Amino acid sequence: MISPSTFTDHPSTLPASTRRPVRRDWSVNLALIGHSGQVGSALLHRLQQLTGLEVELKTVINRRQTGHREDGELQLVPRASDDLDQLMQSLRRAGRPALIIDCTADAGITELYPRWLRHGIGVVTPNKHGLSGDRLLYERIQATARLGRAPLRYSATVGAGLPILRTLARLRLAGDPPRAMEAALSGTLAHVLAQVSQGERFSAAVEDARRKGFTEPNPLEDLSGRDVARKLTIMLREAGFPDVVIQREGLVPDEWLTAPDGAQRLEQLDALWMDRQTAARRAGERWVYAARFDGRRARVGPVTVPADHPLAGLSGSGNLVRLQLATNPNTPLDVFGPGAGVAVTASAVMADVAEAVATFNERN
Ligand SMILES: NC(=O)C1=CN([C@@H]2O[C@H](COP(=O)(O)OP(=O)(O)OC[C@H]3O[C@@H](n4cnc5c(N)ncnc54)[C@H](OP(=O)(O)O)[C@@H]3O)[C@@H](O)[C@H]2O)C=CC1
Ligand SMILES: N[C@@H](CC=O)C(=O)O
């Protein structure tokens, strides 16, 4: 169970909760980075409602503020530049198992994972940057996790917790990695392309995906294909193909990501996408954003597929991963379900927290 937290100046992020005793000998100290974001605040609600999990939220941090529990209350104060160093020191000083939950999309924070894991602090994260970025960082994260001092969980980074990464890791362990993969890995792009095919304007469909909580903090990360490329990188690494280079084609030019008015340019694509979808419909096809791996090369980008293709049937935040296995070439292994959205993501992070706590408890 989580002990109650009282924020003094950010009440909207905190639901009311009942004070419950914490079994001190078993509780795991938690720190949540990104508590004011969409996923972070949904996670806070879940932590508050959960019974039976022996955790205590000690610290919350966002870009502007940090909150430490003092006398049973979390007091928020403006952030100091060395807050993340202080966080690690204070969790270590407490002498209890500790977990840091990174609910940001900040690449810089992921560089701290190896240090935290080496010092016995567990990491739970939906942030894709550390696992998909620089190969050296990825290997340092995995190597420090393998030391076994603290758990690392990141099921929410791909398919918002759908059983994709675990399946790939098990296939690799079994010596049966997929020979090929085809996937729709973006709730945003599935939603946008499905809406456009029903006559919606491209720019309005993107705004709708943002409102529904499917997009990255910067939706251009989705539209450029970079978010999908990150997910495919994590999948390939998990499946044992760390050297594959992914070719990427976006729905928007990469330059828009750095242009100050990048997000305002989407209306420029309304007519193009209307024409594309009309032509595809006449040909009995649909535009989808596909991630493909043929055993050697990988690509993410927009493609047309027949209207009855499995990837064409996705709507809402649907993800589909189809794996071709050597052991069963005629029957692909499909993983299908809601792969984006605040609620499913917070749920996956919550499950990762519970697994990480169980790992600590098994050792104590
Ligand atoms: N939405 C979805 O369907 C899914 C999301 N994810 C991942 O979840 C993560 C969170 O997404 P989301 O909640 O939408 O993002 P938001 O932009 O809503 O929230 C981000 C949070 O991180 C905080 N933050 C950002 N940078 C820093 C920093 N340097 N130091 C401390 N805090 C920081 C923000 O603080 P502040 O309020 O001060 O800006 C905010 O609280 C992302 O990595 C995303 O890729 C993964 C799977 C699915
Ligand atoms: N922005 C992503 C959600 C998180 O991974 C998507 O649209 O699928």
Structure tokens at 83: 């807050």
What is the percent of the chain with per-residue pLDDT over 70, rounded to a whole number?
93
The pTM (predicted TM-score) of the whole model is 0.93
Using CA atoms, how far apart are residues 348 and 307, in angstroms rounded to an integer?
31
What would the mean pLDDT of 308-336 be, rounded to a whole number?
A: 93
Structure tokens at 206: 């993107």
Question: Do 339 and 136 meet the contact criterion of CB atoms below 8 Å apart?
Answer: no
Secondary structure percentages of the chain, helix, strand, coil, to 5: 45, 20, 35
Q: What is the pLDDT of residue 207?
A: 96
**Is a pLDDT exceeding 80 seen at residue 14?**
no
Question: Do 30 and 98 meet the contact criterion of CB atoms below 8 Å apart?
Answer: yes
Between the CA of 289 and the centroid of ligand 1 the distance, in Å, is 24
Pocket of ligand 1 (CB under 6 A): 33-34, 36-40, 61-64, 103-106, 109, 126-128, 156, 160, 213-214, 216-217, 340-342, 345
pLDDT confidence bin for 6, thresholds 50/70/90:
very low
Residues 84-143 have pLDDT tens digits of 999 999 999 999 999 999 999 999 999 999 999 999 999 999 999 999 999 999 999 999
Between the CA of 345 and the centroid of ligand 1 the distance, in Å, is 11
Question: Do 207 and 267 meet the contact criterion of CB atoms below 8 Å apart?
Answer: no
Q: What is the pLDDT of residue 166?
A: 97
Question: Do 50 and 62 meet the contact criterion of CB atoms below 8 Å apart?
Answer: no
Alpha-helical regions (H) of 159-315:
165-173, 187-197, 202-211, 220-223, 226-239, 255-258, 270-282
Alpha-helical regions (H) of 71-212:
83-93, 107-110, 113-118, 129-132, 135-146, 165-173, 187-197, 202-211
**Is a pLDDT exceeding 50 seen at residue 4?**
no
**Consecutive H or E run containing 152:** strand 152-153
For atom 47 of ligand 1, the residue with the nearest CA is: 160
pLDDT confidence bin for 335, thresholds 50/70/90:
very high
Q: What is the pLDDT of residue 281?
A: 94
Provide the residue count of the chain.
Answer: 364
Using CA atoms, how far apart are residues 164 and 18, in angstroms rounded to an integer?
36
Using CA atoms, how far apart are residues 156 and 126, in angstroms rounded to an integer?
5
Q: What is the pLDDT of residue 23?
A: 47
Q: What angle do CA 353, 291, 37 make, to 5 degrees?
A: 35
Mark whether 128 is an active-site residue.
no
Cβ neighbourhood burial of 305 (10 Å; 0-12, 13-18, 19+)? middle
The response to whether residue 37 sits with its C-beta less than 6 Å from ligand 2 reads no
Residues 58-99 have pLDDT tens digits of 999 999 999 988 777 788 999 988 999 999 999 999 999 999
**Is a pLDDT exceeding 50 seen at residue 18?**
no
